[in-house]
Amino acid sequence: MLTKIQKWGNSQGIRIPKIILESSLIELGEEVDISIENGRIVLTPTKRIHGRFAIADLVAEMPKEYNISEEDWGESEGKEEW
């Protein structure tokens, strides 16, 4: 798919077709990191912060051998309420 680099004010920009944006899993308005790799312009989504993590993505990153267990921290010391 072809597009042109255009002047927008004092900057240059390109229009990203909707289908390309949807396929990249980058959302409109999302912050991206822009870099040059082997002479190519690369856009990479930054880590999602401030509650923008999807629980399914977080669970998918958990190690398969992870087992939920209760930790024994010993007896209370001080005014903790357990």
Structural domain includes residue 59: yes
Q: What is the pLDDT of residues 2-59, one digit of tens each?
A: 899 999 999 999 999 999 988 887 888 888 889 999 999 999 888 655 566 778 888 8
Q: Which domain holds residue 45?
A: 31-66
Q: Answer whether residue 15 is part of any domain.
A: no
| Domain-embedded: residue 56 | yes
Decide if pLDDT at 69 tops 70. yes
For the chain, what is the domain count? 1
Instruction: Please give the full DSSP string across 27-81, using - where no structure is assigned.
Output: PTT--EEEEEETTEEEEEEPPP-SS---HHHHHHTS-TT---------S--SS--
16 in a domain, yes or no?
no
- Domain assignment present for residue 21? The answer is no
* pLDDT for the residue 51: 61
pTM: 0.48
Asked, for residue 41, whether it belongs to a domain, the answer is yes
The rounded distance, in Å, linking the Cα atoms of 9 and 7 is 6
- Residue 25 within any structural domain of the chain: no
Question: Is residue 17 domain-resident?
Answer: no
